[in-house]
Amino acid sequence: MIASLFIGQGVDLPWVDDDVLAEPIVAERVALASEHARCDIMRLLTRGGRDLARSEIVQPAMVAVCLGVHRLLEQAGVTPAIVLGHSLGELTAWAAAGGLDDRDAIALAATRGRLMAREAALHPGGMVRVKGDRALADRVLADGAQHGWLSLGADNGPDEYALAGDEAALGYVLPRYPAVRLAVAGAWHSPAMAGAVDELALAVAAVPKNTMRAMLIANRDGEVATEATIASRFVDQLTHPVQWVTCLTTLARFEPRRLLAVGPGKTLRALIHRNLGVDKHVEMIDSMRAIEAAARA
């Protein structure tokens, strides 16, 4: 059994080699993302620019590139039986499972990014990564809540938690705990995003849904989602923490023979190894050479 895992926002673009971006199947999806973001994303990917830090641009860009890589893998005969994605990566996984057309997934990514950027401007804040056990994370949450608001944004591993909060709470905990500010534009997966929920739900409801060909493990509860549950699970993760530990625990129960990570190597591999053990081999798919190697494996 092959499992594909997709990265979300919060990593630097581009993370794939230029030969991948040059492939027509990838370029077509990036062009769709450009239409929705109203900017030349391929130019940004090849030349760089500050706009790649904007959620309304990076989210459709990330989904477009990840889906392009996934389709290249499919062309090479590599088809996963189970998929999951971290945060935004869940939208890529939903399309990779067959539940959404790529065009609709990219459009939803643009909508999600725009709504999250709007809410981040209305409710300024950010996220920090805390390294330590759950007791430490709970202590940070309690102390931060005395100076502002702070909530769990992602349960990434037995020793890593992402916390979302306002500037007052973050400013208090950063110098006092083993915490690092994350390079994200807002307090993701927290109540700060509540104003985006209804609009995202309407956008998700408006796109056609297809029968999923692969199992999809949802961030919201770490369980295998169905066509009847994935839409609400995806919308819910806007304001609830990513249950990544539970996701990977569920994945391990299926004992996949191969793990394919579509996203920046260090980020996804670290998240997988932290939960499943460093002995787990992870195939990093970030170049045509990697895709060709995956096809031969």
Decide if 111 contacts 200 (C-beta within 8 A). Answer: yes
What class is the 2-121+191-296 domain? alpha beta
State the pLDDT at residue 17: 87
- Active-site residue, 287 included: no
Residues 6 or more apart in contact with residue 148 via CB below 8 angstroms: 165, 166, 167, 168, 169, 170, 172
CATH 3.30.70.250 in the chain is located at 125-181
Predicted pLDDT of residue 14 = 74
Chain position carrying tokens 């129960």? 253
CA 184 to chain centre: 12
Find the catalytic residue in 4, 34, 55, 87: 87
87 is catalytic: yes
For the domain 125-181, what is the CATH superfamily, name and number? Malonyl-CoA ACP transacylase, ACP-binding (3.30.70.250)
Q: Could you tell me the pTM of the whole model? A: 0.95
Closest CA to 212 of 103, 101, 81, 98: 98
Strand duo 215-217 + 82-85: pairing: parallel
Three-class SS state of 162: strand
What pLDDT was estimated at residue 51?
86
Q: Which residue in 70, 189, 190, 240 is the catalytic one? A: 189
Token look-up 């996701």 returns 247
The CA distance from 176 to 185, in Å, is: 22
- CA geometry: angle at 136 spanning 135 and 139, to 5°? 90
CB distance 251 to 243 below 8 Å: no
Place of tokens 């309407």: 202
Local confidence pLDDT in tens for the 297 residues of the chain: 999 999 988 777 778 888 999 999 999 999 999 999 999 999 999 888 888 889 999 999 999 999 999 999 999 999 999 999 999 999 999 999 999 999 999 999 999 999 999 999 999 999 999 999 999 999 999 999 999 999 999 999 999 999 999 999 999 999 999 999 998 889 999 999 999 999 999 999 999 999 999 999 999 999 999 999 999 999 999 999 999 999 999 999 999 999 999 987 677 788 888 888 878 889 999 999 999 999 998
Q: Which residue spans of the chain are classified as CATH 3.40.366.10? A: 2-121+191-296
Owner of token pair 């006092």: 176
| Token pair 């190697």 in the structure block, residue | 293
